Amino acid sequence: MDQPFLMFHRPSLDHEEEQSVLEALRSGWLTTGPKTKAFEREFADYVGAPYAVGVNSCTAALHIALIAAGVQPGDEVITSPITFASTANVIVHAGAKPVFVDVEPDTLNMDVSQLESAITERTRAIIPVHFAGHPCDMDPILDIANRHSLTVIEDAAHAIESAYKGRKIGSLSPMTAFSFYATKNITTGEGGMITCQDAGLAEQLAVLSLHGISKDAWKRYTAAGYQHWDIIAPGFKYNMFDLQAAIGLCQLRKVERFWQRRKQISQIYDQAFGELEEICILSCKPYARSAYHLYTLQIQPERAGLMRDEMLDALQQRGIGVGVHFRAVHLHPYYREAFGFRRGMFPIAEQASDQILSIPLYPAMTDEDVQRVVSTVKAIIND
Ligand SMILES: *Cc1c(COP(=O)(O)O)cnc(C)c1O
């Protein structure tokens, strides 16, 4: 009966990543260099974007994307309240005001029908978040952005493998930000990438990611001859470095294999939980290829006879790791106090915020692990 604790997430890393990091270590070139450039190229090819810029997190990617979009103090940027801290925090870092649009109940993505009414003359950009890897309804978002001259920056932290109407996420908007954090679909420990469609913008992002110093500053120590660099913008220290890229190159080659396994596990969960009236699960729209990043259960407290937090405790006590993605950003103390957000403003997001939890979903899970999650959730509900 006493089984080992099943971690909420465990990355899939093996001798290939170990070998690749060793090689990078022994090469003597640790920081941004040939491996970063190779990873950028392969990642851009994978998502079908002409350009990709490696950075040290998705948070950094979103931040410099806002700067490159020309977001200034006093501007407004629209996003979803069901997201991680950084999506909203970077808007504040850019000096702008976060504006939220409520989510749709069946995907927890931004409800596009409410988007246009959130736009004011100060709105500058929209950050759609592809929650759990299910893509947002991008055609109307891009159309509305176009009509109001707004820049779309996608938060694709969950969405490396996602596609919308057959088009890969990363190839659609001016800029798309990805994460390689330890729990994401592929990992470099910490890391991120921005894809974009325009050479000038890619250049600007690369400059912003490395102190704002001029083109190819990372080459300044090579045999090509000494080159002076110029500061052309007050940039950031956000560059990806080669030890990260060494891991990322290996991970990227396995991305579709990992995706297949998570899809399989998601389907087992769908079958197990789809019929239960105590729990709601999210749906997959006809236009979507999901990345299956998270598996979300939404507890119906009256029917289940327990609250979400009781479910979290019960699962942990029975040896199953859990997560909450996410409690609505606008209800966190900073956002309430700084911007006056309160409960009642985004009812669908608030209900989800109180009721959702995430169960383990990763390729290193065995079939027995998956069955154990299913039977434990069911046992708690039937208790
Ligand atoms: C993880 C995450 C981020 C931040 O990614 P980092 O690489 O850790 O900066 C941003 N947005 C969402 C939705 C995330 O889940």
Instruction: Determine which helix (DSSP H) or strand (DSSP E) holds 87, and give its type and residue range.
Output: helix 85-93
Contact assessment for residue 297 and residue 132, using Cβ atoms and an 8 Å cutoff: no
Tokens of 139: 């055609």
**Is 207 exposed, middle or buried, given 0-12, 13-18 or 19+ CB atoms closer than 10 A?**
buried
Whole-structure pTM value: 0.97
**Binding site membership of 86 for ligand 1 (Cβ less than 6 Å):** yes
**Binding site membership of 55 for ligand 1 (Cβ less than 6 Å):** no
**In terms of Cα–Cα distance, which of 322, 57, 14, 11 is closest to 185?**
11
Contacts of 37 (CB under 8 A, 6+ apart): none
**Binding site membership of 58 for ligand 1 (Cβ less than 6 Å):** yes
Q: With H, G, I as helix, E, B as strand and everything else as coil, classify residue 130.
A: coil
Q: With H, G, I as helix, E, B as strand and everything else as coil, classify residue 2.
A: coil
Give the closest residue (by CA) to ligand 1 atom 2: 157
- Ligand 1: residue of 59, 188, 294 to mutate (most ligand atoms within 8 A of CB) is 59
| Nearest atom within ligand 1 for CA of residue 325 | 15
| Nearest atom within ligand 1 for CA of residue 190 | 7
- Distance (Å) from CA 183 to ligand 1 centroid: 10
Contact assessment for residue 322 and residue 273, using Cβ atoms and an 8 Å cutoff: no
Tokens of 299: 């507890």
- Distance (Å) from CA 349 to ligand 1 centroid: 18
Instruction: Determine which helix (DSSP H) or strand (DSSP E) holds 15, and give its type and residue range.
Output: helix 15-27
Report helix angle 255-273 to 367-382, nearest 10. 30
Tokens of 159: 């969405």
Distances (CA, A) of 148 to 70, 116, 125, 378: 15, 9, 10, 48
Q: With H, G, I as helix, E, B as strand and everything else as coil, classify residue 100.
A: strand
- Ligand 1: residue of 80, 84, 175, 238 to mutate (most ligand atoms within 8 A of CB) is 84
**Binding site membership of 314 for ligand 1 (Cβ less than 6 Å):** no
Tokens of 14: 């093996």
End-to-end CA, the chain = 17
| Nearest atom within ligand 1 for CA of residue 131 | 13
CA–CA separation, 202 vs 28, rounded Å?
A: 27
**Binding site membership of 59 for ligand 1 (Cβ less than 6 Å):** yes
pLDDT of the chain along its 383 residues, tens only?
568 999 999 999 999 999 999 999 999 999 999 999 999 999 999 999 999 999 999 999 999 999 999 999 999 999 999 999 999 999 999 999 999 999 999 999 999 999 999 999 999 999 999 999 999 999 999 999 999 999 999 999 999 999 999 999 999 999 999 999 999 999 999 999 999 999 999 999 999 999 999 866 666 666 667 778 899 999 999 999 999 999 999 999 999 999 999 999 999 999 999 999 999 999 999 999 999 999 999 999 999 999 999 999 999 999 999 999 999 999 999 999 999 999 999 999 999 999 999 999 999 999 999 999 999 999 999 98
- Alpha carbons within 13 angstroms on the beta-carbon side of residue 119 total 18
Give the closest residue (by CA) to ligand 1 atom 8: 181
Residues designated as active site: 184
DSSP character at residue 171: S
Give the closest residue (by CA) to ligand 1 atom 1: 157
- Distance (Å) from CA 32 to ligand 1 centroid: 21
Residue carrying structure tokens 């407004």? 76
Contact assessment for residue 361 and residue 295, using Cβ atoms and an 8 Å cutoff: yes
